[in-house]
Amino acid sequence: MNRVIPWLSVGLFFLLAACAPIEKTLPPKVRLANLQFLDSTVFEQRMRVDLRVGNPNNFDLPLEGLTFELEVNDNLLAEGYSNEAVTIPRLGEATVPVLATSSLFDLVQQFMTLGQSDHLSYRLSGRAYMTGLVSRGVPFETSGKLELQQGPGQSFAPL
């Protein structure tokens, strides 16, 4: 009987440990950091989109890729894919450069609507794929507005 009690204590310990709450993984926060136009052809425009990926979790996030769509004024501007593996540090962030493509028609349409409003609204949405955590990826979405400031050398400022 004296030999059974220690084993019973160990078994009870593991049972309680298995029932302990597991910390929920929060999705990464993905924001548009930069947009640089690259080469263009008659049918498409290539651009480099830098995405800033933030990790709100208290542990590293092993990002193995992502997909995204960027809409400006409710029209698709570009879409991109990345299979670059990056580890986002706990409670930190990293910048992920992604090559994106837009049709030249979509780009011309964006420039035509530029003068019709005093602001640009954008929406960035997609999926982040993390090693071993979620096999189908975690959706993300962020949006905002940029105000077109009038005057010499027009520029954009966050609203």
| Residue that has been written with the tokens 């008659």 in this structure | 42
- Decide if 11 is inside a domain: no
Domain count, the chain: 1
User: What is the residue range of 121's domain?
Assistant: 25-158
What is d(CA 147, CA 107) in angstroms, rounded to the nearest whole number?
19
Write down the pTM of the prediction: 0.69
Q: Is the pLDDT of residue 83 over 50?
A: yes
Picking from 51-55, 84-88, 150-154, which range would have the lowest pLDDT averaged per residue? 150-154
pLDDT, tens digit (0-9, with 9 covering 90-100), for 92-103? 999 999 999 988
- Decide if 140 is inside a domain: yes
What is d(CA 86, CA 65) in angstroms, rounded to the nearest whole number?
8
- At 148, the pLDDT band (50, 70, 90 cuts) reads low
pLDDT, tens digit (0-9, with 9 covering 90-100), for 28-50? 899 988 888 888 888 888 989 99
- Decide if 147 is inside a domain: yes
- Output the domain CATH number for residue 34: 2.60.40.10
